[in-house]
């Protein structure tokens, strides 16, 4: 093996990953800051360390949709080097850097925190996980295949570790609870090493196929032919209206990722139900509800990203020219995108809810079911009414939150090119957002009371949000993005929602009526977010479309 080529590869890997390595080393510092304040988070600190050690852009980058092969260094296929070196060097870099980062982070954590963490003993486990994830992403061709194999690999790894995971108690303070879990014996270490070597071998085999131009795996090719034969060549009826055509357009763009998100959510629910089946249903319910929320959030974000229509062209993120030149107005475009996203989210949420209910039903024993029913029967009429009203308002608030989330995601998405171009401003904005965290840390260090800083921070945010909402609504009406009557209707509905929510909140906890001025302004600002985001999304699209 030519030493110059080796040197070039190592230099390329260094240049590619140096920023990422730095970030990975710095990320858990945030955890450490928080864990100084909340000792119960110390267990999470360790999870954060493990997660950071395993997450590397070398395999995350393979999810870049433009690459057909999964191996990130396709350009080096033309080098006079055997495939085993081409794959081996980055793989070795990945494994070594992951191990070194893990050891470094554990060392820092042990300096700062009182508890002790497993060090060397974890390395074979880390090597196996890193190698398997790299194998999953580098060996596959096509984005869909890559996603499926990676998720399957993650499930397989979790399955294999289930005896260990079953013994975990994340709520137990400190990683001592984990130590006996993650301490692998010699035989297991041997098995892990062998699995790592097999993963590397499989990767080399598949990358060699990619190098020789065999991009499509047999399975993939056959599957795509079956799928193609289903769609006949007969001319379908033309769309009866532009609205239907646009809905079809947005739906087709996002259907695969929506299905993937819902499927992953259901699979995770099933997996965790089975994992936590033995005892502690309280935990299981908690896990189910948090998986549901995460899956919903992931679904909303994925589908929103799909309908945005932003593309990388010549390394610059911008709205695709095709979309920008369609004869459709900004207002209609946003409304249709919102409609499709909300519709998909609604269907997805019903499916996920159904799945969660099934999983819960599996877990509840008959006694518990009886207990729940008797409690429900014992509710008085007023309490029942209150419960129903509360239920409706909660549902309305949930729907509003979802719509707001979609609007916010669209607004952020269309501002992404601006953020990318003005990174300094973006970083300053982020620092402003994280300002209270700094104050919190300084408070514990300096032992002063910075209450007035919190108050003025909340006040500033409240004023900013209210002003942004007012200006946004004005701009939307001035640019005729939405007509005045629908906007007025939306404002009225929003006012109704806010009033109902305040009424319920006050009923629940009367002490909340005595709040400081600053907190009131901040809450008003928070309440403005749904209506403000409704204006922000189309304005940022208009800014992207007509620069």
Partner 1 sequence: MEEKVVAIEGVTRQFGLLKALDDLTFSVDPGCVHGLVGANGAGKTTLIKHILGLLRARSGSVRVFGLDPVKHPVEVLGRIGYLSEERDLPDWMRIHELARYTQAYHPKWDNSYSDELIQTFELDPQQKIKNLSRGQRALTGLIAAVAHRPDLLLLDEPSSGLDAIVRQDILREVVRAVADEGRTALFSSHLLDEVERMSDVVTMIHKGKVVLHGSLDDIKDGHQHLTLRFPEEQMVRPTIAGALSLEGFGNQWQAVCNGELEQAKAAIQALGAEITEVRNASLQEIFVARVGRGVPTKTEG
**Closer Cβ to partner 1, 236 or 315, answer by number:** 236
Q: Which of 218, 377, 382, 547 binds partner 1 (CB under 8 A)?
A: 547
Q: Which of 7, 18, 242, 503 binds partner 1 (CB under 8 A)?
A: 242
The stretch near partner 1 (CB under 8 A) out of 77-85, 179-187, 241-249, 433-441 is 241-249
- Sign (positive/negative) of CA torsion 477, 481, 485, 489? negative
Q: Which of 85, 205, 249, 435 binds partner 1 (CB under 8 A)?
A: 249
**Closer Cβ to partner 1, 81 or 475, answer by number:** 475
> Minimum distance from CB of 485 to partner 1 (Å)?
20
Burial 238-269 (b: 16+ CB within 10 A, else e): eeeeeeeebbebbbebbeebbebbbebbbbbb
End-to-end CA distance of the chain: 52
Determine, following the binding rule CB under 8 A, whether residue 325 of this chain makes contact with partner 1. Answer: yes
- Supply the DSSP symbol for 319: E
> Minimum distance from CB of 142 to partner 1 (Å)?
11
Instruction: Report the SS3 class of residue 39.
Output: helix
The stretch near partner 1 (CB under 8 A) out of 189-197, 247-255, 389-397, 434-442 is 247-255
> Minimum distance from CB of 207 to partner 1 (Å)?
23
The Cβ-side half-sphere exposure at 29, using a 13 Å CA radius, reads: 9
Among 62, 233, 55, 72, which residue's Cα sits nearest to residue 154? 55
The stretch near partner 1 (CB under 8 A) out of 240-248, 367-375, 414-422, 521-529 is 240-248
Q: Which of 80, 114, 213, 233 binds partner 1 (CB under 8 A)?
A: 233
Determine, following the binding rule CB under 8 A, whether residue 282 of this chain makes contact with partner 1. Answer: no
> Minimum distance from CB of 377 to partner 1 (Å)?
54
Q: Which of 15, 185, 230, 236 binds partner 1 (CB under 8 A)?
A: 236
Residue span 284-323 as binding mask against partner 1, x where in contact by CB under 8 A, dash where not: -----------------------------x------xxx-
**Closer Cβ to partner 1, 325 or 511, answer by number:** 325
Q: Which residues contact 351 (CB under 8 A, 6 or more apart)?
A: 262, 266
Structure tokens at 245: 């055509």
Residue span 467-506 as binding mask against partner 1, x where in contact by CB under 8 A, dash where not: -------------x--------------------------
Determine, following the binding rule CB under 8 A, whether residue 111 of this chain makes contact with partner 1. Answer: no
Q: For residue 227, count other CB atoms closer than 10 A to its CB.
A: 9
CA dist., res. 97 & res. 102, Å (int)? 8
- Sign (positive/negative) of CA torsion 404, 409, 412, 415? negative
The string of DSSP letters for 244-287 reads HHHHHHHHHHHHHHHHHHHHHHHHHHHHHHHHT-SS-HHHHHHH
309 φ/ψ sector (left φ>0, alpha ψ -120 to 50, else beta): left
Determine, following the binding rule CB under 8 A, whether residue 213 of this chain makes contact with partner 1. Answer: no
> Minimum distance from CB of 415 to partner 1 (Å)?
17
By CB under 8 A, what part of segment 402-441 binds partner 1?
Answer: none
Burial 61-80 (b: 16+ CB within 10 A, else e): ebeeeebebbbbbeebbeee
Give 311's strand partners: 318
Determine, following the binding rule CB under 8 A, whether residue 235 of this chain makes contact with partner 1. Answer: yes
Contact 322, 545 (CB under 8 A): no
> Minimum distance from CB of 452 to partner 1 (Å)?
43
Q: Which of 231, 279, 367, 509 binds partner 1 (CB under 8 A)?
A: 231
Structure tokens at 507: 């009923």
Determine, following the binding rule CB under 8 A, whether residue 216 of this chain makes contact with partner 1. Answer: no
Q: Which of 11, 63, 159, 248 binds partner 1 (CB under 8 A)?
A: 248
Structure tokens at 489: 């209707």
The stretch near partner 1 (CB under 8 A) out of 228-236, 277-285, 386-394, 438-446 is 228-236
List % helix, strand, coil for the chain (3-state, nearest 5): 80, 0, 15
Number of residues near partner 1 (by CB under 8 A): 31
Instruction: Report the SS3 class of residue 38.
Output: coil
> Minimum distance from CB of 254 to partner 1 (Å)?
11
Rg (CA), the chain: 27
Q: Which of 3, 4, 241, 375 binds partner 1 (CB under 8 A)?
A: 241
Determine, following the binding rule CB under 8 A, whether residue 456 of this chain makes contact with partner 1. Answer: no
Residue span 172-211 as binding mask against partner 1, x where in contact by CB under 8 A, dash where not: ----------------------------------------
Determine, following the binding rule CB under 8 A, whether residue 244 of this chain makes contact with partner 1. Answer: yes
- Sign (positive/negative) of CA torsion 364, 367, 368, 371? positive
Structure tokens at 33: 């800051």
CA dist., res. 269 & res. 261, Å (int)? 12
Among 275, 271, 267, 274, which residue's Cα sits nearest to residue 165? 275
**Closer Cβ to partner 1, 227 or 452, answer by number:** 227
The stretch near partner 1 (CB under 8 A) out of 109-117, 229-237, 444-452, 492-500 is 229-237
By CB under 8 A, what part of segment 251-270 binds partner 1?
Answer: 252-253
**Closer Cβ to partner 1, 369 or 480, answer by number:** 480
Determine, following the binding rule CB under 8 A, whether residue 4 of this chain makes contact with partner 1. Answer: no
Q: Which of 182, 330, 352, 416 binds partner 1 (CB under 8 A)?
A: 330
Determine, following the binding rule CB under 8 A, whether residue 226 of this chain makes contact with partner 1. Answer: no
The Cβ-side half-sphere exposure at 158, using a 13 Å CA radius, reads: 13
Residues that bind partner 1 (CB under 8 A): 228, 231, 233, 235-236, 238-239, 241-242, 244-246, 248-249, 252-253, 313, 320-322, 324-330, 480, 545-547
């Amino acid at each position: 093996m030519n030493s110059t080529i080796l040197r070039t590869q190592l230099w390329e890997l260094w240049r590619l990953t140096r920023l990422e390595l730095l970030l990975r080393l710095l990320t858990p510092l945030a955890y450490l800051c928080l864990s100084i304040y909340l000792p119960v988070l110390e267990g999470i600190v360790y999870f954060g360390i493990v997660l950071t050690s395993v997450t590397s852009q070398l395999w995350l980058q393979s999810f870049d949709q433009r690459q057909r092969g999964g191996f990130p260094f396709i350009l080096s296929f033309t080098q006079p080097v055997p495939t085993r070196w081409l794959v081996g060097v980055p793989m070795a870099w990945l494994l070594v850097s992951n191990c070194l980062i893990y050891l470094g982070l554990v060392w820092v954590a042990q300096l700062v925190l009182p508890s002790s963490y497993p060090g060397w003993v974890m390395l074979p486990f880390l090597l196996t996980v890193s190698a398997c994830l790299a194998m999953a992403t580098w060996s596959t061709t096509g984005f869909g295949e890559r996603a499926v194999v990676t998720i399957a690999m993650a499930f397989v790894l979790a399955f294999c570790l289930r005896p260990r995971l079953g013994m975990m108690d994340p709520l137990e303070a400190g990683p001592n609870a984990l130590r006996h879990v993650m301490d692998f014996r010699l035989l297991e270490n041997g098995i892990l090493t062998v699995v790592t070597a097999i993963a590397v071998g499989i990767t080399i085999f598949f990358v060699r196929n990619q190098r020789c131009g065999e991009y499509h795996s047999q399975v993939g090719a056959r599957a795509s032919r079956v799928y193609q034969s289903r769609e006949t060549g007969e001319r379908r009826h033309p769309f009866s209206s532009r609205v239907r055509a646009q809905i079809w357009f947005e739906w087709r763009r996002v259907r695969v990722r929506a299905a993937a998100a819902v499927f992953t959510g259901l699979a995770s629910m099933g997996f965790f139900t089975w994992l936590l089946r033995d005892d502690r249903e309280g935990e299981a319910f908690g896990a189910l509800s948090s998986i549901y929320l995460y899956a919903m959030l992931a679904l909303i974000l994925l589908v929103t990203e799909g309908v945005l229509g932003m593309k990388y062209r010549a390394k610059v993120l911008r709205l695709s020219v095709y979309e920008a030149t369609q004869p459709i107005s900004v207002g209609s475009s946003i409304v249709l995108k919102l409609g499709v996203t909300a519709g998909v989210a609604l269907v997805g949420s019903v499916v996920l809810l159904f799945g969660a209910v099934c999983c819960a039903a599996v877990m509840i024993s008959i006694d518990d079911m009886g207990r729940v029913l008797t409690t429900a029967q014992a509710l008085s009429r007023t309490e029942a009414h209150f419960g129903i009203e509360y239920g409706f308002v909660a549902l309305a608030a949930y729907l509003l939150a979802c719509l707001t989330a979609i609007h916010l995601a669209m607004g952020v998405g269309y501002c992404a090119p601006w953020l990318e171009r003005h990174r300094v401003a973006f970083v300053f904005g982020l620092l402003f957002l994280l300002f209270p965290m700094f104050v919190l840390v300084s408070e514990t260090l300096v032992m002063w009371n910075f209450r007035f800083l919190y108050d003025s921070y909340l006040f500033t945010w409240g004023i900013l949000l209210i002003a942004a909402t007012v200006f946004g609504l004005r701009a939307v009406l001035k640019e005729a993005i939405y007509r005045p009557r629908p906007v007025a209707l939306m404002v009225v509905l929003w006012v109704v929602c806010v009033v109902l929510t305040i009424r319920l909140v006050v009923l629940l906890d009367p002490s909340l009526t005595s709040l400081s001025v600053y907190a009131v302004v901040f809450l008003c600002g928070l309440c403005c977010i749904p209506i403000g985001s409704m204006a922000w999304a189309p304005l940022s699209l208009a800014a992207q479309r007509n620069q």
